[in-house]
């Protein structure tokens, strides 16, 4: 980003950056619940020797399963269809939140560059 030398240009740029920053914060406030992970359809083999999944190869399911990391370990949770829809929405919100936070960081960096003599950080 080029360094701004005239103070009226810098003031106008700062005002625009502040406006952008506030707009990003408002988007974050509207997000709702957030969760990390993924929801996938899974088929299972139950392990009973006389079950159709063992004798005929017809697996149980499909079931919705939420997968995420907890303390560095993969954790899975089976969900009913209604809960799966909610969790999928919250995962989307989490992805949006991460993108918005990245944009907040970029905007903050632009403010720093505009208010200091640094042309690149």
Burial 101-121 (b: 16+ CB within 10 A, else e): eeebeebeebbebbeeeeeee
Residue 120 has a pLDDT of 55
Distance CA 48, CA 65 (A): 21
**Contacts with 30 (C-beta within 8 Å, 6 or more apart), sequence order:** none
**Contacts with 36 (C-beta within 8 Å, 6 or more apart), sequence order:** 68, 69, 91, 94
- Kindly report, residue by residue over 1-44, the tens digit of the pLDDT: 444 445 778 889 999 999 999 999 999 999 999 999 999 999 99
- Kindly report, residue by residue over 63-112, the tens digit of the pLDDT: 999 999 999 999 999 999 999 999 999 999 999 999 999 999 999 999 99
Given a cut of 70, whether residue 52 has pLDDT beyond it is yes
**Total-model pTM:** 0.78
């Amino acid at each position: 980003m080029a360094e701004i030398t005239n103070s009226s240009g810098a003031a106008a740029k700062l005002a625009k950056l502040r406006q952008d920053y506030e707009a990003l914060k408002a988007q974050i406030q509207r997000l709702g619940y957030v969760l990390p992970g993924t929801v996938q359809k899974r088929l299972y083999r139950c392990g009973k020797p006389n079950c159709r999944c063992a004798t005929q190869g017809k697996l149980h399911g499909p079931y919705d399963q939420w997968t995420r990391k907890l303390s560095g370990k993969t954790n899975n949770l089976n969900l009913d269809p209604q809960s799966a829809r909610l969790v999928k929405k919250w995962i989307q919100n989490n992805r949006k939140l991460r993108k918005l936070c990245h944009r907040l960081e970029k905007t903050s960096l632009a403010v720093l560059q505009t208010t200091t003599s640094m042309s690149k950080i």
